[in-house]
Structure 1
Amino acid sequence: MPTSAKIKVLIIDDHPLFRQGIRWSLEDAPDMEVVGEAENGQEAIKLTERLSPDVVLVDINLPGLNGLEVARVIKRRDPRIGIVVLSVYEDDDQLFQAIKVGAAAYSSKDVNPEDLLYYIRTVAAGRYLINDSVLAKPNVATRVLHQFRELAATEDEQTSVLFAPLTSREIEILDCIARGLSNKEIANELNISGQTVKNHITSILSKLQVNDRTMAVIYAIKRGWVRYGYPEQGRVHENLEG
């Protein structure tokens, strides 16, 4: 959560009525402040540098410099800022591209005000809600993990043999998660209880300092700790509580 009393929000959208609607939705939230609005990418980047918002809401279909390009520039210049990408309709390719530019959340523009407030608060706290979107989209999860596997393959040998701070059992569990297995399926495959699986996953997240299963697998793949297949087509990852 930002150290200031209120979460500073910048709205980027080329439709004045939509910007006003978001502003109205946030005005009654005592922990938020709309610090600025922009109608195009160039203006947004300048305002971001001047206003230092905590969270930026950006429309993906901006004229000129599109929302993804704006998000990429903002994250490169100030990684602290949380990006929420908004789109007229949800699209797997847009979700994948939003992940690549470092967005923390991706949502359709018809999101209700209560959910939008939740997204902003969660992103301001440093969490990546976009991972939840990935878990619900097997095709996107496959693309994300496949790309990270390709990145891992280009790393030098020293990187791939770095000491992994995980036990052999935890590596086994990460392998299972990368193959798209549920907690129950992992328990059956490794002949352990479901609660033991959950305990191991909690330990993995703590050691790697990540928030969820997807990021744990990505972290492990980038370092070459997980060498088996990435999620199978059509498999849906469950969340940690699953």
Structure 2
Amino acid sequence: GSGRDALAMVQDVTPDVVLMDLGLPAPNGIETTQRLKRELPHTAVIVLASNDDEDQLFDAIKAGAAAYVLKDIDPTDLIAIIRRVRAGEYLINDKVFAKPAVASRVLKEFRELAVYGSEAAPIFAPLSPREVEILDNIAQGMTNKQVAYALGISEQTVKNHMSSILRKLSVNDRTQAVVYAMRQGWIKIPED
């Protein structure tokens, strides 16, 4: 089938996880992933690639894929990955950070988005100014305790804000929240 067929099918059945072949024609797997994530943000996409191409990996993370696997993967490994992605894990991060060249491109891209703002950024951030401040501190690598100290609030208040942030952004952990906020240009990437 084509990317168009895939989009139509996914909209009908709204699955938790989609296996996306990067080799799809019209539109290709990356474009189809992007459109799918725009229309169904809660459907996770696992990208299937024929080789470990750094450009494709970079495009896949930008498109919002949760995992990047090679087509010759062992079926039992694939099932394990599908289960982990369904549970909300973002396995593509490990893949990206295992490749320094891709990791630095991703960080540079997020930096530019944060500096210039992104066309994709919503009109408003669903987070309160205090929540953005907390996420900003977490992006600098601070613990809840350090954030509490820096902002003069209790650690429990920081935890409450974090729960609210994760709920509002529909993400499962701090890392995903930080990445999401950077993508939207709400917070700046810490300079090295």
Q: Same fold (TM over 0.5)?
A: yes
Query: 1:104 corresponds to which residue?
Result: 66
Q: Please state if 1:218 is matched with 2:179.
A: yes
Moved over 3 A (4+): 162-167, 173-177, 205-227
Q: Please state if 1:83 is matched with 2:35.
A: no
Secondary structure, counterpart of 2:65 in structure 1: coil
Report Cα offsets for 1:125-177 as digits up to 9, x if no partner.
22211111112111111111111111111249xx8xx445549xx94x84469
Residue 123 of structure 1, aligned match among 82, 85, 88: 85
Secondary structure, counterpart of 1:143 in structure 2: helix
Kindly name which structure, 1 or 2, has the bigger radius of gyration based on alpha carbons. 1
Report Cα offsets for 1:197-230 as digits up to 9, x if no partner.
xxxxxx8x8786466685465357543454423x
Q: Please state if 1:70 is matched with 2:32.
A: yes
Query: 1:94 corresponds to which residue?
Result: 56
Question: Could you list the runs of 5+ residues in structure 2 that have no partner in the other structure?
Answer: 119-124, 143-158
Looking at structure 2, the residues matched to 148 and 55 of structure 1 have their Cα atoms a distance apart, in angstroms, of 25
Matched residue type, 1:152:
A
Higher helix share: 2
Query: 1:150 corresponds to which residue?
Result: 112
Q: Cα RMSD between the aligned structures?
A: 3.1
| Larger displacement relative to structure 2 (51-60 or 210-219) | 210-219
Number of equivalenced pairs = 160
Looking at structure 2, the residues matched to 86 and 106 of structure 1 have their Cα atoms a distance apart, in angstroms, of 6
Query: 1:228 corresponds to which residue?
Result: 191
Looking at structure 2, the residues matched to 228 and 207 of structure 1 have their Cα atoms a distance apart, in angstroms, of 27
Report the identity percentage: 45
Query: 1:138 corresponds to which residue?
Result: 100
| TM-score using structure 2 length | 0.69
Question: Could you list the runs of 5+ residues in structure 1 that have no partner in the other structure?
Answer: 1-38, 178-202, 230-242
| TM-score using structure 1 length | 0.56
Distance 1:42 1:115, change over 3 A: same
